[in-house]
Amino acid sequence: MAATSVRPSGMVLTSTDATAIPVAASTAVRRILCGPPRPAVVIGTPAGAVYLRTDDGELLAVLAPTAARLPMAAVAVDALRERPEPGQRGSVGAGRIDAGGLSAHVVRWWDPRPVLPLWTPELLAANLAQISLADPEIGLPPGPVRALRAALHDRDHTVTVRAASALIGLGPGLTPSGDDVLIGLISSLVCLGHPDSGPTAAAVLAAAQGRTTDL
């Protein structure tokens, strides 16, 4: 029996492959998944996840239900039965993700945007106080994080970008620990409607070119 799912636009995606695993996909990647199939390559397969990059530079993750839910992910309803090797080729689009032995089809969508309170200087100050200066488990020295926290507190955009740039690619991991801090920070600023969120995100993205992993 064919499996079907509904695009946000109302169009129906159909998969006749009974072996394809059903996934719930983030609306952040609906343009990629609802578009025509495009070539992609597997760039990482840590536990419970498969990361792909399309030939035109888009990133997508297929995650097990127990994995941390990323905004550019399609989450499987069950454990991933097949995990292709990094470097294997595949395709993404028309409601499907195929690479190596992995085949998945979109059956529903979820919105990655959290519901958060509106930004205020007091809210920012309270959350900045929660930023740890150093965590030996993630391999970050305290200096760059301390500088970033101080710059955000002072609302100095130039110094914030300089401090953030020092964290790019810093630390261990498929996504370096410094990148994890920056992603969390920028996501929070965007979701809270901080007035400097857009310029900060653009400046950090420009500075990251060639300095960190694809993810």
Give the strand pairing for 73-76 and 59-63. parallel
Cα gap 26→46, rounded to integer Å: 20
Residues 131, 100, single domain; the answer is no
Residues 7, 40, single domain; the answer is yes
With a threshold of 0.85, does the pTM exceed it? no
Residues 9, 76, single domain; the answer is yes
Last residue of a domain, one of 110, 143, 162: 110
Residues 171, 79, single domain; the answer is no
Domain count, the chain: 2
pLDDT score of 32: 95
Residue 73 lies inside a defined structural domain of this protein: yes
Render pLDDT for 136-190 as a digit per residue (tens, 0 to 9).
Answer: 556 677 778 888 888 877 888 888 888 888 888 887 777 788 888 888 888 877 7
Phi-psi group of 93: left, alpha or beta (phi > 0 → left; psi -120 to 50 → alpha; rest → beta): left
Cα gap 22→103, rounded to integer Å: 9
Residue 17 lies inside a defined structural domain of this protein: yes
Residues 9, 101, single domain; the answer is yes
pLDDT score of 125: 65
Residues 8, 101, single domain; the answer is yes
Residues of the chain with pLDDT under 70: 1-18, 119, 121, 124-139
36 is in which domain, residue-wise? 3-110
pLDDT score of 208: 87
